[in-house]
Protein backbone atom coordinates (compact mmCIF):
# COMPACT_ATOMS: atom_id res chain seq x y z
CA UNK A 1 0.00 0.00 0.00
CA UNK A 2 1.32 3.42 -0.97
CA UNK A 3 2.21 5.78 1.84
CA UNK A 4 1.71 9.53 1.66
CA UNK A 5 4.05 12.33 2.68
CA UNK A 6 3.12 15.91 3.52
CA UNK A 7 5.30 18.35 1.56
CA UNK A 8 4.59 22.07 1.39
CA UNK A 9 1.09 21.43 2.77
CA UNK A 10 0.43 18.94 -0.03
CA UNK A 11 -0.22 15.26 0.54
CA UNK A 12 1.83 13.34 -2.01
CA UNK A 13 2.40 9.65 -2.63
CA UNK A 14 5.84 8.51 -1.50
CA UNK A 15 5.96 6.51 -4.74
CA UNK A 16 5.51 9.75 -6.69
CA UNK A 17 8.39 11.42 -4.84
CA UNK A 18 10.66 8.38 -5.15
CA UNK A 19 9.85 8.07 -8.85
CA UNK A 20 10.95 11.67 -9.46
CA UNK A 21 14.20 11.05 -7.59
CA UNK A 22 14.94 7.88 -9.55
CA UNK A 23 14.15 9.57 -12.87
CA UNK A 24 16.58 12.41 -12.14
CA UNK A 25 19.38 9.99 -11.20
CA UNK A 26 18.85 8.04 -14.43
CA UNK A 27 18.77 11.25 -16.48
CA UNK A 28 22.04 12.44 -14.95
CA UNK A 29 23.78 9.33 -16.23
CA UNK A 30 22.12 9.83 -19.61
CA UNK A 31 23.46 13.39 -19.83
CA UNK A 32 27.00 12.20 -19.14
CA UNK A 33 26.71 9.46 -21.76
CA UNK A 34 25.48 11.97 -24.34
CA UNK A 35 28.26 14.41 -23.39
CA UNK A 36 25.86 17.21 -22.46
CA UNK A 37 27.45 17.60 -18.99
CA UNK A 38 30.61 16.55 -17.19
CA UNK A 39 31.24 15.77 -13.53
CA UNK A 40 28.77 17.63 -11.33
CA UNK A 41 28.22 20.58 -13.68
CA UNK A 42 24.70 21.41 -14.78
CA UNK A 43 21.55 20.37 -12.93
CA UNK A 44 18.20 18.63 -13.34
CA UNK A 45 14.79 19.08 -11.77
CA UNK A 46 11.29 17.61 -11.95
CA UNK A 47 8.03 19.25 -10.92
CA UNK A 48 6.22 16.83 -8.60
CA UNK A 49 3.32 19.17 -7.82
CA UNK A 50 2.69 22.91 -7.68
CA UNK A 51 5.36 24.31 -5.38
CA UNK A 52 7.11 20.95 -4.92
CA UNK A 53 10.19 20.08 -6.98
CA UNK A 54 12.90 17.42 -7.00
CA UNK A 55 16.35 18.81 -7.88
CA UNK A 56 19.90 17.54 -8.05
CA UNK A 57 22.17 18.31 -5.09
CA UNK A 58 25.02 20.80 -5.23
CA UNK A 59 28.49 19.46 -6.01
CA UNK A 60 27.61 15.79 -6.40
CA UNK A 61 28.71 14.03 -9.58
CA UNK A 62 26.04 12.33 -11.69
CA UNK A 63 27.94 9.05 -11.93
CA UNK A 64 27.69 8.40 -8.18
CA UNK A 65 24.30 9.97 -7.44
CA UNK A 66 21.62 7.91 -5.72
CA UNK A 67 17.88 8.63 -5.39
CA UNK A 68 18.32 9.58 -1.71
CA UNK A 69 20.71 12.37 -2.81
CA UNK A 70 17.98 14.21 -4.74
CA UNK A 71 16.57 17.13 -2.77
CA UNK A 72 12.91 18.16 -2.59
CA UNK A 73 12.41 21.94 -2.52
CA UNK A 74 9.60 24.52 -2.62
CA UNK A 75 9.15 27.74 -4.60
CA UNK A 76 11.44 29.58 -2.19
CA UNK A 77 14.13 26.93 -2.75
CA UNK A 78 13.80 25.80 0.86
CA UNK A 79 14.45 22.10 1.48
CA UNK A 80 11.33 20.06 2.15
CA UNK A 81 13.06 16.69 2.18
CA UNK A 82 16.65 15.52 1.74
CA UNK A 83 19.95 15.78 3.59
CA UNK A 84 22.11 17.46 0.93
CA UNK A 85 22.25 21.07 -0.25
CA UNK A 86 20.06 21.64 -3.31
CA UNK A 87 21.60 22.85 -6.56
CA UNK A 88 22.95 26.39 -6.46
CA UNK A 89 20.81 27.06 -9.55
CA UNK A 90 17.53 26.14 -7.82
CA UNK A 91 16.31 29.74 -8.21
CA UNK A 92 16.70 29.37 -11.97
CA UNK A 93 14.55 26.24 -11.96
CA UNK A 94 11.74 27.58 -9.78
CA UNK A 95 11.63 30.84 -11.78
CA UNK A 96 11.10 28.92 -15.02
CA UNK A 97 8.42 26.70 -13.48
CA UNK A 98 6.59 29.83 -12.32
CA UNK A 99 6.88 31.48 -15.74
CA UNK A 100 6.09 28.35 -17.80
CA UNK A 101 3.12 26.42 -16.34
CA UNK A 102 3.53 23.63 -18.91
CA UNK A 103 7.07 22.87 -17.73
CA UNK A 104 7.33 19.57 -15.86
CA UNK A 105 11.11 19.12 -16.04
CA UNK A 106 14.21 21.28 -16.54
CA UNK A 107 17.73 20.36 -17.65
CA UNK A 108 20.66 22.79 -17.38
CA UNK A 109 23.68 21.70 -19.45
CA UNK A 110 27.13 22.93 -20.38
CA UNK A 111 27.10 21.34 -23.85
CA UNK A 112 30.03 22.39 -26.02
CA UNK A 113 28.56 24.09 -29.09
CA UNK A 114 25.66 25.81 -27.34
CA UNK A 115 28.08 26.99 -24.64
CA UNK A 116 30.36 28.33 -27.37
CA UNK A 117 27.53 30.53 -28.68
CA UNK A 118 26.71 31.50 -25.10
CA UNK A 119 30.33 32.56 -24.63
CA UNK A 120 29.97 34.74 -27.75
CA UNK A 121 26.62 35.95 -26.38
CA UNK A 122 24.94 35.03 -29.64
CA UNK A 123 21.57 33.30 -30.11
CA UNK A 124 21.03 29.93 -31.74
CA UNK A 125 19.36 30.90 -35.03
CA UNK A 126 16.29 29.14 -36.42
CA UNK A 127 18.15 27.59 -39.36
CA UNK A 128 16.96 23.98 -39.16
CA UNK A 129 13.43 22.69 -39.00
CA UNK A 130 13.67 20.65 -35.80
CA UNK A 131 14.72 23.63 -33.66
CA UNK A 132 11.57 25.51 -34.68
CA UNK A 133 9.35 22.46 -34.46
CA UNK A 134 10.47 21.39 -30.99
CA UNK A 135 11.84 24.54 -29.34
CA UNK A 136 9.75 27.18 -31.10
CA UNK A 137 12.35 29.17 -33.07
CA UNK A 138 15.48 31.20 -32.43
CA UNK A 139 16.91 30.61 -28.96
CA UNK A 140 18.04 33.81 -27.26
CA UNK A 141 21.06 34.39 -25.07
CA UNK A 142 20.15 35.89 -21.68
CA UNK A 143 22.01 38.86 -20.26
CA UNK A 144 24.97 37.83 -18.12
CA UNK A 145 24.57 37.44 -14.37
CA UNK A 146 26.55 35.56 -11.76
CA UNK A 147 25.60 31.87 -11.35
CA UNK A 148 23.15 31.02 -8.61
CA UNK A 149 21.70 34.53 -8.39
CA UNK A 150 18.13 35.73 -8.69
CA UNK A 151 19.36 38.07 -11.42
CA UNK A 152 20.43 35.07 -13.50
CA UNK A 153 17.01 33.47 -13.01
CA UNK A 154 15.20 36.70 -13.97
CA UNK A 155 17.40 37.22 -17.04
CA UNK A 156 16.79 33.66 -18.23
CA UNK A 157 13.02 33.96 -17.89
CA UNK A 158 13.05 37.30 -19.74
CA UNK A 159 15.04 35.78 -22.63
CA UNK A 160 12.92 32.63 -23.00
CA UNK A 161 10.36 34.54 -25.08
CA UNK A 162 7.99 31.60 -25.39
CA UNK A 163 10.72 29.11 -26.28
CA UNK A 164 11.61 25.88 -24.50
CA UNK A 165 15.27 26.85 -24.20
CA UNK A 166 17.59 29.75 -23.47
CA UNK A 167 21.34 30.30 -23.47
CA UNK A 168 23.02 31.69 -20.36
CA UNK A 169 25.77 34.13 -21.33
CA UNK A 170 29.27 32.71 -20.71
CA UNK A 171 27.67 29.75 -18.97
CA UNK A 172 25.52 27.15 -20.74
CA UNK A 173 21.93 26.26 -21.58
CA UNK A 174 18.60 25.73 -19.84
CA UNK A 175 15.87 23.61 -21.46
CA UNK A 176 12.42 22.71 -20.22
CA UNK A 177 9.95 20.07 -21.29
CA UNK A 178 6.62 18.49 -20.49
CA UNK A 179 8.61 15.53 -19.17
CA UNK A 180 12.26 14.73 -18.49
CA UNK A 181 12.45 12.91 -21.82
CA UNK A 182 11.02 15.97 -23.58
CA UNK A 183 13.57 18.24 -21.87
CA UNK A 184 16.35 15.89 -23.00
CA UNK A 185 15.17 16.08 -26.62
CA UNK A 186 15.12 19.88 -26.39
CA UNK A 187 18.68 19.84 -24.99
CA UNK A 188 19.92 17.59 -27.79
CA UNK A 189 18.20 19.54 -30.57
CA UNK A 190 19.58 22.80 -29.16
CA UNK A 191 23.13 21.40 -29.15
CA UNK A 192 22.72 20.07 -32.68
CA UNK A 193 21.39 23.43 -33.91
CA UNK A 194 24.26 25.28 -32.21
CA UNK A 195 26.81 23.00 -33.89
CA UNK A 196 25.20 23.56 -37.30
CA UNK A 197 25.13 27.33 -36.70
CA UNK A 198 28.85 27.40 -35.89
CA UNK A 199 29.66 25.31 -38.97
CA UNK A 200 27.58 27.64 -41.13
CA UNK A 201 29.33 30.71 -39.70
CA UNK A 202 32.66 29.32 -40.88
CA UNK A 203 31.24 28.86 -44.39
CA UNK A 204 29.68 32.29 -44.86
CA UNK A 205 26.52 32.02 -42.79
CA UNK A 206 23.08 30.40 -43.01
CA UNK A 207 19.62 31.55 -44.03
CA UNK A 208 17.26 31.75 -41.05
CA UNK A 209 13.70 30.49 -41.38
CA UNK A 210 10.99 33.15 -41.29
CA UNK A 211 9.04 33.66 -38.09
CA UNK A 212 5.85 32.79 -40.02
CA UNK A 213 7.21 29.42 -41.20
CA UNK A 214 8.60 28.74 -37.73
CA UNK A 215 5.20 29.34 -36.16
CA UNK A 216 3.45 27.00 -38.61
CA UNK A 217 5.93 24.19 -37.98
CA UNK A 218 5.96 24.63 -34.21
CA UNK A 219 2.16 24.66 -34.04
CA UNK A 220 1.95 21.48 -36.13
CA UNK A 221 4.49 19.76 -33.89
CA UNK A 222 2.72 20.76 -30.66
CA UNK A 223 -0.80 20.00 -31.90
CA UNK A 224 -0.16 16.83 -33.89
CA UNK A 225 3.32 15.34 -34.33
CA UNK A 226 4.26 15.32 -30.63
CA UNK A 227 0.99 13.50 -29.88
CA UNK A 228 1.77 10.91 -32.56
CA UNK A 229 5.12 10.29 -30.88
CA UNK A 230 3.24 9.48 -27.68
CA UNK A 231 0.68 7.33 -29.48
CA UNK A 232 -2.11 9.78 -28.70
CA UNK A 233 -2.89 10.51 -32.36
CA UNK A 234 -2.75 8.43 -35.54
Q: Which residues are catalytic?
A: 89
The SS3 call for residue 199 is helix
State the alpha helices, DSSP H only, in 41-135: 90-99, 112-120, 129-130
State the alpha helices, DSSP H only, in 68-210: 90-99, 112-120, 129-130, 150-160, 180-202
What angle separates helix 112-120 from helix 180-202, to the nearest 10 degrees? 60
What is the spatial distance between Cα 3 and Cα 197, in angstroms, rounded to a whole number?
50
What is the spatial distance between Cα 194 and Cα 141, in angstroms, rounded to a whole number?
12
Amino acid sequence: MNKTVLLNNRELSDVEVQSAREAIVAMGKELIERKLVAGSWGNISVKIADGVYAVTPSGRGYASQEPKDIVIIDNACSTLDGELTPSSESKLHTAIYSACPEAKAIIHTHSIYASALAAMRKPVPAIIEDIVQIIGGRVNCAEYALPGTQELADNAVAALNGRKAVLLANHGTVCWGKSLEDALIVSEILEKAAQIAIICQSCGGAVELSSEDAEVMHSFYEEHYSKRQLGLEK
